[in-house]
Homo-oligomer: A and B are copies of this chain.
Amino acid sequence: MNDSAQIKVGVVGGTGYTGVELLRLLVQHPKVSLTAVTSRSEAGSQVHELYPNLRGYLDLEFTHPQVETLSECDLVFFATPNGVAMKMVPELLRAGVKIIDLAADFRLQDPQVWEKWYGIPHACVDVLQQAVYGLPEVNRAAIAEAALVANPGCYPTAVQLGFLPLLEQGLVDQNGLIADVKSGVSGAGREAKLGSLLCEASENFKAYGVAGHRHLPEIKQGLERASDNPVGLTFVPHLTPMIRGIHATLYARLNNTGTDLQSLYQERYANDAFVDVMPSGSLPETRSVKGANHCRVAVHVPQGGDTVVVLSVIDNLVKGAAGQAVQNMNIMFGLAESAGLDQIALMP
């Protein structure tokens, strides 16, 4: 694109936590002109009335989501609940608009698996086939050509980036993978749910979704692509009493113990600006990525045994959602991959 041109961007569903995080990033993006932010419930009110952190940065009203208006955009982000995007996307694609969906509608390639885990039939199976899974560290080239990108889930991002080097090289028993993952409460969204109340979720720690979480098939799909084999994965998500952050603790049995895993990881991610392989022995903290688009990873083999432990942290709202979406946009529009993504984590 023309160097000085701005991408005309629309955001559908701008009231949730991924929505406002997307606005925070887009408002400061040097190549983005934000033209529409939609919300059925808030239409007519100023965005900064809902989100006072945007006072002075964004002078736009929420509007009703309408295909005509959105069709004038170069790119539309969907930050909507699952099942919404798939109803509007086909028409927008036909109008020549590029799409990044931050929900799950286009993440699972198999529409039957989608129906099983999300409880409704997929609304546009043909379009689903064109969707590119937006994990740049795996699919950068395809994303560059894509009209429709399915932005990965937060857990899947942290788990895949942690496991990929091992699986791509076939270094572990892929039948016994374990992903013990801990998420801040913002992962549950900005809905008034009992379990997300401060009085329910703070000073408390618990597992949930042990019997089966919707991110399980998405993670398996990604790991199987990397492994070129079926994988056996036990995935246990937990709720941890903080706002932002995901910490994945990943376990696998090594097939043999001779490989230099530190070098393997460093080489694998040498060209991925947002994956930071930390020095040997490091213990990444979620706060080191709070508000930033990085995934920090460390590899351990405790007591020199045959079990590898990978620690992988992201901010679920940034690399796990809005930041990765902007990263995908940058790739799709030929911009520097890190344009508008230079936020440094707040510490403390």
Show the binding face of A for B, using Cβ within 8 Å. 17, 20, 24, 27-28, 51-57, 176, 178, 180, 182, 184-186, 190, 192-194, 196-208, 210-212, 232, 234-236, 238, 240-245, 247, 249, 251, 253, 273, 276, 278, 281, 283-292, 294, 296, 300, 302-303, 305, 307, 309, 311, 313, 342-348
Q: Is the CB of B283 within 8 A of A208?
A: yes
State the Cβ distance, A254 to closest chain B Cβ, in Å: 12
Residues of B within 8 Å of A54, CB to CB, are: 344
Q: Is the CB of B186 within 8 A of A199?
A: yes
Distance of A60 Cα from B331 Cα, bound (Å): 31
Q: Is the CB of A204 within 8 A of B309?
A: no
Distance of A325 Cα from B18 Cα, bound (Å): 32
**Complex: chain B residue closest to A175, CB-CB:** B306
Given known pairs A199-B17, A199-B348, the reply for A53 and B302 (CB within 8 Å) is: no
Distance of A249 Cα from B249 Cα, bound (Å): 11
Distance of A241 Cα from B296 Cα, bound (Å): 20
User: What 9 pairs between A and B have smallest CB-CB spacing?
Assistant: A53-B345, A199-B348, A204-B287, A180-B180, A52-B288, A206-B285, A198-B198, A192-B192, A53-B347
State the Cβ distance, A338 to closest chain B Cβ, in Å: 10
Residues of B within 8 Å of A204, CB to CB, are: 242, 245, 285-287
**Complex: chain B residue closest to A185, CB-CB:** B198
Distance of A345 Cα from B346 Cα, bound (Å): 10
Distance of A315 Cα from B212 Cα, bound (Å): 27
**Complex: chain B residue closest to A274, CB-CB:** B56
Q: Is the CB of A242 within 8 A of B202?
A: yes
Q: List 19 A-B contacts (CB under 8 A).
A: A56-B276, A176-B176, A180-B180, A182-B238, A192-B194, A196-B198, A196-B199, A200-B348, A204-B245, A204-B285, A205-B286, A206-B283, A206-B285, A208-B283, A210-B283, A211-B303, A234-B309, A241-B242, A244-B346
Residues of B within 8 Å of A344, CB to CB, are: 24, 27-28, 53-54, 57
Q: Is the CB of A249 within 8 A of B238?
A: yes
State the Cβ distance, A136 to closest chain B Cβ, in Å: 17
Residues of B within 8 Å of A343, CB to CB, are: 343
Residues of B within 8 Å of A186, CB to CB, are: 199, 348
Given known pairs A53-B345, A199-B186, the reply for A206 and B241 (CB within 8 Å) is: no
**Complex: chain B residue closest to A318, CB-CB:** B346
Residues of B within 8 Å of A313, CB to CB, are: 205-206
Given known pairs A176-B307, A210-B311, A234-B309, the reply for A292 and B240 (CB within 8 Å) is: no
Q: Is the CB of B346 within 8 A of A236?
A: no
Given known pairs A192-B192, A199-B185, A241-B242, the reply for A346 and B290 (CB within 8 Å) is: yes
Q: Is the CB of B20 within 8 A of A309?
A: no
Given known pairs A53-B347, A207-B247, A302-B210, the reply for A197 and B202 (CB within 8 Å) is: no
